[in-house]
Amino acid sequence: MEAKESKIPEVQEYGGPHLEKVGDKVCQKNWGTFTLLETRSINESFELAPMVITIKDIRRIQLSSLTDEVKDELKSYMGLSFEEAYSIYYKEDLSMEEIDQQAELSKTDIDEEVTYLEITYSVENKDSKELQFFSMENVTFNGDLTYDVPSKNFIHSGDTLIGTKKVSRSDYQPGETRKGTIGLLVDPEENFDRLDSFSFTTDDIADGESHELLVDGTSFEIPLKIPLKGK
């Protein structure tokens, strides 16, 4: 008797946490199918005193069987953000409307499959006062694939749900720890097939009440070692 093809598990919420090992698949109801392609377990902390950022995992995940509504939603995270388009075209005397058009023209349609890079992390405020901070303003994979996280992250949960700008988001309370997940779509033209390195740049740290600058932002880099067989 032939074994039945295993059915892909279905979940109601974000599918990423349900993927445990490479090859695992899960279907998020009325959204799409997630397949884990690659994972790097980091579990490393980076301190910009008094804030501590702990990166848990960085993973490469494929999305497929997406609904048309989801494809349209994800398209808005492709190409240039308005801020990125402005930094490129403001010297050309284009109007704000024309710059916005350039940003829209840079966005590519989502095909039947698209890959994204997922970062799971936590941030802890070790100080005794409220602080304003955003842990990952910019991230870079493999030395040249760079993202502006506030405009390109399509997963809004936990830490990133609270806001993307330091001054507009809820302050970190004394001793507070927040968990977050970041999802960044990979343009198919990038031919991105392996995670080799990762770096990120933080925002500045400011006082939650006076908004006074306390600590300048900084950058951290992580080489991503390829897991050895049998380990």
Question: Confidence band (pLDDT; 50, 70, 90) for 120?
Answer: very high
The phi, psi pair for 71, rounded to 5°, reads -60, -45
In order of start, what are the domains of the chain with their CATH numbers? 10-66+112-223 (2.60.40.4170), 80-111 (no CATH)
pLDDT per position as a tens digit, 197-218: 999 999 999 999 999 999 999 9
pLDDT number for residue 5: 52
Distance CA 103, CA 79 (A): 7
Please state, for a pLDDT cut of 70, what percent of the chain lies above it: 90
pLDDT number for residue 90: 83
Task: Return the ∠ at Cα 35 (arms to 29 and 40), rounded to 5°.
Answer: 130
Helices 96-105 and 82-89 pack at an angle, to 10 degrees, of 120
180 and 111 Cβ atoms separated by less than 8 Å: no
What integer is the mean pLDDT of 180-201? 92
182 and 161 Cβ atoms separated by less than 8 Å: no
pLDDT per position as a tens digit, 7-32: 899 999 999 999 999 999 999 999 99
Cis peptide before 150 (omega within 30 of 0): no
Distance CA 140, CA 56 (A): 17
224 and 198 Cβ atoms separated by less than 8 Å: yes
CA-closest candidate to residue 82, choices 60, 65, 104, 64: 104
